[in-house]
């Protein structure tokens, strides 16, 4: 596992083909797929939103973008919205949101018995 702070993403690399297939099936069943192939939306819980994000109900849901490629899973640390291109409620994750994302992804890997 590798955390890249300069690129603002959490990257799990070194996936085998079997790991990739398990992740693709899981993400396809449990997350909404974005219009671009290999991108999935992980919705943030309301309890982890910032006050500005909570106030922007019409912008919700607030999501992290997870990009699955053959050998890695890249989790962008930008909290996005799907309704607009830009809004004040978008921005890089807080420390709590970043930790929540990492915990969510690590739990998925553990559930799928993917050891990196």
Rounded Cα distance between 101 and 42, Å, is: 9
pLDDT digits (tens, 9 = 90+) for 26-84: 999 999 999 889 999 999 999 999 999 999 999 999 999 999 999 999 999 999 998 77
- C-alpha separations of 3 from 48, 55, 60, 61, 96 in Å: 21, 30, 27, 25, 15
Name residues whose C-beta falls within 8 Å of residue 15's C-beta, 6 or more positions apart in sequence. Answer: 23, 70, 71, 72, 73, 114, 116
Which CATH number is correct for 2-111, 3.20.20, 3.60.21, 1.10.150, 3.30.310? 3.30.310
Q: What value does the mean pLDDT take over residues 5-26? A: 89
Token pair in block for residue 48: 């982890």
Length of the chain: 116
- Provide the pLDDT confidence category of residue 86 given band limits of 50, 70 and 90: confident
Give the model's pLDDT for residue 111.
97
Angle, CA of 92, 97 and 101, to the nearest 5°: 105
The domain limits of the chain are 2-111
Q: Per-residue confidence at 19, pLDDT binned at 50, 70, 90? A: very high
Q: How far apart are CA 40 and CA 64, in angstroms?
A: 8
């Amino acid at each position: 596992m590798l955390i890249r702070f300069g690129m603002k993403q959490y990257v799990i690399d070194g996936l085998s083909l079997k790991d990739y297939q398990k992740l693709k099936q899981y993400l396809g069943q449990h997350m909404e797929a974005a219009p671009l192939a290999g991108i999935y939306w992980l919705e943030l819980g309301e309890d982890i939103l910032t006050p500005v994000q909570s106030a922007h109900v019409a912008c919700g849901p607030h999501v992290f973008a997870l990009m699955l490629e053959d050998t890695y899973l890249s989790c962008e640390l930008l909290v996005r919205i799907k309704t607009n291109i830009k809004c004040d409620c978008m921005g890089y994750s807080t420390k709590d949101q970043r930790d929540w994302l990492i915990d969510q992804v690590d739990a998925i890997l553990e559930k799928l018995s993917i050891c990196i």
